[in-house]
Amino acid sequence: MADDYQKNEAVANFIEYLKIPSVQPNINYDDCVKFLKRQAAELDMEFRVYEVVKLKPIVVLTWVGQQPSEPTILLNSHMDVVPVFENSWTYPPFSAHIDENGKIFARGSQDMKCVGIQYLEAIRKLKAAGVQLKRTLHVSFVPDEEIGGVDGMKKFVHTQDFKNLNVGFAMDEGMANPGEEFILFNGERSIWHIHIHCSGQPGHGSLLLPNTAGEKLRYIIDKFMDMREEQKRILESDPKLTIGDVTTINLTQLQGGVQSNVVPEKLTVVFDIRLAVTVDHEKFEEQIKQWFKEAGEGITYEFEQKNDPVECTKLDATNPYWVAFKAAADDMNLKLDCRIFPGGTDSRYVRKVGIPALGFSPMNHTPVLLHDHDEFLSVDIFLKGIDIYTKLIPAVANV
């Protein structure tokens, strides 16, 4: 059966792409670029490579539309994948092994090499059918999304090269869903990674010294964790809410101390906070500053990452791309579940420069395995996704 699947050109291309170990960190993207250059030649698409940061290529394949002056459509995906714990995988994670049930096991099968290939295979079908699009279509393959996109999309959107693409609407990754619905994302929470340093009176561990770093740290941790509990209660109280609708707070690092019998002069705690789209950022920061004040003197903080608020993409009649996307989905009888993305994707950088963007990976009836062991995607779901894009791409490109 695996051999039968591999005779399918789309599946063969997917497998070839999955076998390229573009795994973080320190990726050499050369093999991805070569693979995509060949795809562009086969599809008769323009091929460009931009290097905003050395050795971090941004690959763009372009299908010029009949009205090239119109704002264009951007189909984005990322080339990099997260690390693997190979001993925990049933099959080698870069073998793209297809089992007897037609499941393709590989790192990147869901996140998100599938979508990049589905774009290209949908274009192959459209071109073979003689379809012509009104708007120009750009298919971008970017680096480093899995480490925040700092040297990829984050910088690219501010370049003249990106502005020259004249993007009016973008699509990017979503997530799998075990149920019937296809999950669609129109916004993302803001990521704040905050390091809080508590200084205090050092001394011997046998004493009850005043003004210690530990007392201050405890007060601050209690405040953040109380808010975490409050958000958990909100999420659990309403079945309509998903994780993207609330603010998440997680204690991710504790640092400090020199030895067991010495009261340290400084302790540090790190929190990963994802602010719900409804949160006022200034008020939230004022609140945490107040907690620091209450905890005592000698508290400083800095942000490792602090995303600004970004407006969600509108899902109403004011957004003609959404109207076209929804009409095409309805024609295919796709059940859409619209949500706020729980993590971070490159869409946040695209939306921040004022371009509407939707996150969508056509993977229903599929367990969520991004970043997990034994990540897989069924061949049937992969091929169905191509058919879905053959309807969605002309819908948005002919707006």
Q: Where are the beta strands (DSSP E) in the chain?
A: 46-53, 56-63, 72-78, 97-98, 103-105, 137-142, 167-172, 182-188, 190-199, 203-204, 248-256, 262-263, 266-275, 299-306, 336-341, 357-360, 376-378
- The catalytic residue positions are 80, 145
Query: What is the average pLDDT across 302-321?
Result: 97
CB proximity list for 41: less than 8 A, separation 6 or greater: 47
Rounded to an integer, the average pLDDT of 302-328 is 97
pLDDT one-digit tens code per residue, 365-378:
999 999 999 999 99
Q: What is the side-by-side order of every strand in the sheet holding 97-98? A: 97-98, 103-105, 376-378
User: What pLDDT score does 109 carry?
Assistant: 98
Question: What is the predicted pLDDT for the residue at 97?
Answer: 97
Q: What is the pLDDT of residue 195?
A: 98
* Closest of 145, 276, 266 to residue 212, by C-alpha: 266
- Residue 386: left if φ>0, alpha if ψ -120 to 50, beta else—which one? alpha
Instruction: Give me the pLDDT at residue 5, please.
Output: 78
Q: Can you give the pLDDT at residue 384?
A: 98
What is the structure's pLDDT at 65?
A: 98
Report residue 31's pLDDT band, with 50, 70 and 90 as the boundaries: very high
Q: Residue 160 above 60 pLDDT? A: yes
Is 144 in contact with 328 (CB distance < 8 Å)?
Answer: no
- Phi/psi at 336 (5° precision): -100, 135
Using CA atoms, how far residue 399 sits from 69, 128, 327, 344, in Å, is: 13, 22, 12, 28
Structural contact between residues 51 and 58, judged by C-beta atoms closer than 8 angstroms:
yes
Residue 3, pLDDT > 70, answer no
pLDDT of residue 2: 61
The rounded distance, in Å, linking the Cα atoms of 41 and 33 is: 12
Q: What number is the average pLDDT over the span 159-182?
A: 98
Name residue 229's amino acid. E
pLDDT band at 7 (very low <50, low <70, confident <90, very high): confident
pLDDT value at residue 4: 75
Spatial distance between the Cα atoms of 168 and 42, rounded to a whole number of angstroms: 27
Q: How far apart are CA 77 and CA 171, in angstroms?
A: 9
Stated as kind and residue range, the H or E segment containing 296 is none
How high is the pLDDT of residue 1? 55
pLDDT digits (tens, 9 = 90+) for 185-227: 999 999 999 999 999 999 999 999 999 999 999 999 999 999 9
Residue 3: count of CB within 10 angstroms of its CB: 7
pTM over 0.85, yes/no: yes
d(CA 392, CA 115): 13
Domains and CATH numbers, the chain: 2-173+361-397 (3.40.630.10), 190-306 (3.30.70.360)
CA dihedral sign of residues 167, 169, 174, 180: negative
- Terminal C-alpha separation, the chain: 41
pLDDT tens-digit series, residues 52-110: 999 999 999 999 999 999 999 999 999 999 999 999 999 999 999 999 999 999 999 99
Write down the pLDDT at residue 67: 98
CA pair distance 8, 383, nearest whole angstrom:
10
Crossing angle between the packed helical segments 379-397 and 113-128, to the nearest 10 degrees = 60
Indicate whether 6 pLDDT > 90. Answer: no
Instruction: List residues bridging with 336 in a β-sheet.
Output: 182
**Given a cut of 60, is residue 272 above it in pLDDT?**
yes
Residue type, 137: L
pLDDT for the residue numbered 233: 98
